[in-house]
Structure 1
Amino acid sequence: MIEVKFRKDDHGNLLSFEITGHAGYGVEGEDIICAAVSVLAIETVNSVERLAGYQMLVDEADDEGGYLYAEILSEREAEQQYITQILLKHLFYSLEDVAETYPDYVSIQMK
């Protein structure tokens, strides 16, 4: 199962997300759920860089896969913060849709 954990601050702003595990829905390389979650997460990190103009702090397990952690920088301009929150909320809602469609394969937590 893929587990996604989002962390937010006291104001409801998303600060980070962590994705662990494998869906196990299909064979490796053909698992559409893993592919969907991976694309959404990686493109969110890439979009923050392209649209907000900074790189998130990222940790990933390249050799075995199944792990991605991304955290926003604490020092951001107001526009960067605004763009980042839109992108992270889009990720949250998109992953929530995947989890609702495939509840046995994806779970989401908000801390």
Structure 2
Amino acid sequence: MIKVVFKKRHNDIVSFTIDGHADSVDEGYDLVCSAVSAISLTIANGITEVVKAKAYVEVKDGFLSLSLENESFEVIHKCRVLMETMLLGLKNVENSYGEYIKVKMEEVE
């Protein structure tokens, strides 16, 4: 099971963590894992390479975490469309393959 947690402060997503594997089919053929990886890595690259945010990013096997919590309001706001797009994409994957992925949102201060 892939577990995705977004953290939102006020109206802006400030971080996400993705942990686990879908295990929906054999390794290398897992469309759920592929979709989650493609969406999340593209957004992480957009945040760090296009927006040039100094986000904290951690990547390991079956794990991706990105945090903007130490960034200014202006940088977080610039990343808003990317983060909301990622949330929408992963919620769509969850709608189709909910037995393999769970997405939730938490409010932080």
Fold match (TM-score > 0.5): yes
Distance verdict in 2 for CA 1:106–1:29, change over 3 Å = same
Q: Which residue of structure 2 aligns with residue 72 of structure 1? A: 68
* 1:58–1:70 CA contact under 8 A, matched in 2: yes
* 1:51–1:83 CA contact under 8 A, matched in 2: no
TM-score (normalizing by structure 2): 0.89
Deviation at 1:54, TM superposition (A): 2.1
Question: Tell me, which stretches of 5 or more residues in structure 2 are unaligned?
Answer: none
Superposition map of 1:1-111 within 5 A: 1-9=1-9, 11-61=10-60, 65-76=61-72, 78=74, 80-111=75-106
SS of the residue aligned with 2:21? coil
Equivalent residues, number: 106
Deviation at 1:28, TM superposition (A): 0.8
Runs of 4+ in 1 over 6 A off after TM superposition: none
Question: Tell me, which stretches of 5 or more residues in structure 1 are unaligned?
Answer: none
Residue by residue over 1:52-79, the C-alpha shift from the partner in whole angstroms, topping out at 9 and shown as x without a partner, is 1223201121xxx11111101533362x
